[in-house]
């Protein structure tokens, strides 16, 4: 399906901003062979999140912050037949990449003391089956800003993006997705 010149311009500018963001925050690819996520280790700044196993992620805890590889996401969205097809592809790719993070957490001393992995996304459907817990973003202001940014991207990414936003606006709210380091290692670390 053809993409309009306006959408091409938005995607181009977004990807340029993305490159700058990666440089400013020193993001690195999780796995060079499967370039789905970028990450950085940082201090968690959000509200306390209690996870299903009773573990708590609190302000100041060391976490791995995940970011989609938006260049890859654009390519996947352009090639997908529908939003459902894109979601299935994303879940499969995430399932392939999460073991690389688990192996870093379980074997690399640089990751010692990391309590969890988290990200902020509007593409949160299906993340529970990967082991993530969803939480609401704190404060209306942050929800509004992140929602505006992510909805703009979603509508520019996929031919059905605008229609999807109109059909189900309450489902298209950004969420925090988080998983404890213990859970990630248990689920995904190489057994050997």
Per-residue pLDDT of 5-54, as tens digits, reads 777 787 788 889 889 999 999 999 999 999 999 999 999 998 999 999 89
Determine the pLDDT at residue 1: 47
pLDDT digits (tens, 9 = 90+) for 135-172: 987 766 655 666 666 666 666 555 555 555 555 555 56
Return the axis-axis angle of helices 70-79 and 83-107, rounded to nearest 10°.
150
Number of domain units in the chain? 1
Determine the pLDDT at residue 139: 67
The pair of three-digit structure tokens given for residue 177, joined into one six-digit string: 């997705």
Determine the pLDDT at residue 57: 97
The pair of three-digit structure tokens given for residue 48, joined into one six-digit string: 């306390």
Determine the pLDDT at residue 12: 84
In angstroms, the CA 46 to CA 44 distance is 6
Determine the pLDDT at residue 77: 79
pLDDT digits (tens, 9 = 90+) for 112-143: 999 999 998 877 778 899 999 999 877 666 55
Q: Print the domain residue range for 99.
A: 5-188
> Could you tell me which of 133, 181, 156, 109 has the C-alpha nearest to residue 15?
156
HSE (CB half, 13 Å, CA atoms) of 90? 25
What's the Cα-to-Cα distance from 78 to each of 5, 8, 177, 180, rounded to whole Å? 14, 11, 25, 33
pLDDT digits (tens, 9 = 90+) for 91-106: 899 999 999 999 999 9
Average pLDDT over all residues of the chain: 84
Determine the pLDDT at residue 78: 78
Pair 114, 59: CB distance under 8 Å = no
């Amino acid at each position: 399906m053809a993409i309009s010149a306006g959408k091409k311009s938005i995607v181009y500018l977004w990807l340029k901003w993305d490159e700058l963001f990666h440089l400013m925050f020193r993001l690195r690819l999780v796995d060079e062979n499967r370039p789905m996520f970028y990450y950085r280790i940082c201090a968690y700044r959000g509200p306390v999140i209690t996870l299903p196993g009773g573990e708590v992620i609190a302000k100041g805890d060391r976490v791995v912050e995940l970011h989609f590889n938006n260049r890859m996401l654009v390519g996947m969205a352009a090639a997908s037949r529908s939003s459902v097809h894109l979601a299935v592809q994303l879940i499969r790719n995430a399932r392939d990449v999460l073991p690389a993070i688990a192996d870093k957490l379980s074997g690399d001393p640089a990751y010692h003391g990391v309590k969890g992995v988290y990200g902020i996304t509007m593409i949160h459907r299906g993340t529970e089956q990967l082991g993530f817990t969803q939480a609401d973003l704190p404060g209306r202001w942050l929800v509004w800003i992140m929602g505006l940014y992510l909805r703009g991207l979603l509508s520019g990414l996929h031919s059905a993006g605008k229609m999807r936003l109109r059909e189900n606006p309450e489902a298209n709210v950004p969420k925090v997705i988080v998983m404890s380091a213990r859970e990630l290692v248990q689920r995904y670390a190489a057994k050997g």
